[in-house]
Structure 1
Amino acid sequence: MTLSSMTGFARADGADGDFRWHWEVRSVNGKGLDARSRLPAGYERLEVEVRAAVARHLNRGNCQIGLQIDRTGGGADLVVNEAALERVLAVVERLKGRVEAEPPRLDGLLSLRGVLELADTEEDEADRERRDGLLIETLNEALAALVAARASEGAELERVLGEQIDTIERLARDARDCPAATPEAIRARLEDQIARLMDTGADLDADRLHQEAMLLAARADITEEIDRLLAHIEAARALISGDGPAGRRLDFLAQEFNREANTICSKSNDRALTAIGLELKAVIDRMREQVQNIE
């Protein structure tokens, strides 16, 4: 199973005689699943079914759903919304003498949103339920297309993440094999520093210095950090190749990657190891950006 992106767009059209409709669905990344719909007046009754359909197809993402209805055929009549027209005329009357303007024209009034409407011819409850079913059926087609679009982008994300994880593994092994990171190198560096301190002639306790040096050597050892990084890499690859949404868990692993890289940099007192640690952090940051868009 490939990863799924949270970004996508799809549309689907349907018709029933002279009654036509058009669904558009788009999604972007989000912490959870948030579905927001824009339905024409009179179709608010579909809100619950729309949300249920989205939940059946998607697990995460901010999803926008829009429905457009075309009722210009023989199944609809033009009617004036008298209440809306009266409200507009009342506003015009209140503004007389306060705003210089030409008197409103009929074509201008009728072009205002909500003044002129298309009204369906009378239909019984059975016809309405049948048409609602067709509308939701078309929505499911649009959502299925959205899932396919998100999967297509997810396949590209999987490729990019795979390359980044390979790079993280290479850098982790480079850090482990860095000559400056070996216990022998750390011990030799500390012994040299102790010798120089003793050569200063200062009244220093040699035994205490060696004890401190041993503690510093233990703290500078990055073996545990490398082992945890390699374990996280295996877990990330298992998530990518596994079933089900992986975005949240990959995001958690990316945070763990970053924590280990920070520790490696803080323990390093060698230029080569520090350079590896900084490059590791840069790759992990790019990985975290990609992970934010995975379902």
Structure 2
Amino acid sequence: MTGYGSASRQVSLGAGVVADLQVECRAVNSRFLDLGFRLPDECRGAEPALRESVSQSLSRGKVELRAAWRLNSGAAETAKANPHALGSLNQDRLDALFTLQEKAQLAFPKAQELSIADILRWPGMVSEPRGEEEGWIVATVEAGRAAITALMISRQAEGQALAEVLKKITAKMRAIVQVLEPQVPQFVAQYQAKLTERLAEALASQEQAKGGVELMERIRQEVVLYAVKIDVAEEFARLKTHLQAVDTALAGKGPVGKRLDFLMQELNREANTLSSKSVSEECTQAALELKLLIEQMREQVQNLE
């Protein structure tokens, strides 16, 4: 099942500077549970706890947790009051970089001077407040669990909507069975009459040799045997049982995806048997319609946990 959830927390970086941390949790369909994390270095320590939280909440799906942070909008005002709040320059590195630039310009007189952005991006040039590791871990775990909860709520809403779709499909299948089942004996009787007529014509040449009584007894036996082979009462009974099992699973709690996968296989098997035993065009069309509805259910079941 697909789903999305997000949550945010604040992390104190010291000197009155605060970072806004946001964690997003996304999930798409998958037969198994596949976890992925895209966390900044400050949040890496929270990964084991987040992995455990996801495993306790979900049993299948491709899940990705992503975290990102930025300085709070009040950082500018903090910087005005305390110029060193957002960081300080490493004077030793600044002096070394200045010396390197002078040497480079002597060798390459046409080379451009370093811009302020180049200087600030130089590794180790700016010492920024990073906060305590424990603070990052606590905030990331709290935001991550809240995002997972939001994800579960969205998945639950989607699951309820899919369950209603599946119930409508099972209702259509029941309607087909209710219409077709009482008509099957009539279809079988009509087919038996046609079969009897065809056998009589095929064995007409033997009538004079063996006598009409023996011929008609042979025909009767063949018709009875064939009637047993095309009897679909058990298929109808199993269809109704499987449909009831589908509704029971949808009404219950907990993961139902794998159980419904199995029931789709069983429903499809009964529909195929109905098709192979068909004795009329109406039976064939009904079996095809059942198989189409089962396939529609199978596609939706793949979205359920």
Q: Structure 1 length as normaliser, TM-score? A: 0.78
Residues 231-258 of structure 1: CA deviation (Å, up to 9, x unaligned): 1011111111112111110111011111
Counterpart position of 2:99: none
Aligned residues: 265
Q: Structure 1 residues 10 and 147 mapped into 2: Cα distance closer, same or farther (>3 Å)?
A: same
Give the Cα separation in 1 of the matches to 2:122 and 2:219: 86
Equivalent residue letter for 1:289: E
Query: Would you say 1:12 and 2:7 are equivalent positions?
Result: yes
Give the Cα separation in 1 of the matches to 2:11 and 2:87: 17
Q: How does 1:25-104 map to 2 (within 5 A)?
A: 25-71=25-71, 73=75, 77=87
Give the Cα separation in 2 of the matches to 1:104 and 1:10: 48
Query: Would you say 1:270 and 2:270 are equivalent positions?
Result: no
Equivalent residue letter for 1:262: N
Residues 123-143 of structure 1: CA deviation (Å, up to 9, x unaligned): 5xxx42233112111111111
Query: Would you say 1:176 and 2:181 are equivalent positions?
Result: yes
Counterpart among 129, 133, 139 of residue 138 in structure 2: 133
Give the Cα separation in 2 of the matches to 1:278 and 1:223: 18
Residues 42-95 of structure 1: CA deviation (Å, up to 9, x unaligned): 433222112111112222211111111225757764899x9xxxxxxxxxxxxx
Query: Would you say 1:246 and 2:251 are equivalent positions?
Result: no
Q: Structure 1 residues 268 and 16 mapped into 2: Cα distance closer, same or farther (>3 Å)?
A: same
Give the superposition deviation at 1:211: 3.4
CA contact (8 A) 1:190 1:213 kept: yes
* Structure ID, larger Rg: 2
Give the Cα separation in 1 of the matches to 2:9 and 2:24: 12
Give the Cα separation in 1 of the matches to 2:113 and 2:176: 73
CA contact (8 A) 1:7 1:26 kept: yes
Counterpart position of 1:237: 247
CA contact (8 A) 2:181 2:236 kept: yes
CA contact (8 A) 1:186 1:217 kept: no
Moved more, 41-50 or 11-20: 41-50
Give the Cα separation in 2 of the matches to 1:169 and 1:105: 80
Q: Structure 1 residues 106 and 265 mapped into 2: Cα distance closer, same or farther (>3 Å)?
A: farther
Counterpart position of 1:89: none
Q: Structure 1 residues 23 and 181 mapped into 2: Cα distance closer, same or farther (>3 Å)?
A: farther
CA contact (8 A) 1:7 1:28 kept: yes
CA contact (8 A) 1:40 1:67 kept: yes
Aligned-CA RMSD value? 3.4
Give the Cα separation in 2 of the matches to 1:170 and 1:249: 23
Give the Cα separation in 2 of the matches to 1:14 and 1:188: 79
Query: Which has the higher relative contact order, 1 or 2, with Cα contacts under 8 A spaced 6 or more apart?
Result: 1
Q: Structure 1 residues 117 and 281 mapped into 2: Cα distance closer, same or farther (>3 Å)?
A: farther
Query: Would you say 1:21 and 2:21 are equivalent positions?
Result: yes
Residues 242-294 of structure 1: CA deviation (Å, up to 9, x unaligned): 12111110111011111110110111131111011111111111011111101
Q: Structure 1 residues 278 and 71 mapped into 2: Cα distance closer, same or farther (>3 Å)?
A: same
Counterpart among 142, 148, 152 of residue 147 in structure 2: 142
Equivalent residue letter for 1:56: Q
Give the Cα separation in 2 of the matches to 1:117 and 1:283: 66
Counterpart among 195, 216, 226 of residue 236 in structure 2: 226
Equivalent residue letter for 1:121: P
Counterpart position of 2:270: 260
Equivalent residue letter for 1:16: V
Give the Cα separation in 2 of the matches to 1:58 and 1:117: 44
Q: Structure 2 length as normaliser, TM-score? A: 0.75
Runs of at least 5 residues in structure 2 that lack an aligned partner in the other structure:
13-17, 80-84, 94-110
In percent, how many aligned pairs have the same letter? 31
Counterpart position of 2:129: 121
Q: Structure 1 residues 194 and 33 mapped into 2: Cα distance closer, same or farther (>3 Å)?
A: same
More helix by percentage = 2
Give the Cα separation in 2 of the matches to 1:288 and 1:117: 59
- Structure 2 counterpart SS, 1:67: strand
Residues 204-244 of structure 1: CA deviation (Å, up to 9, x unaligned): 98355543333221111111111100010111111111121
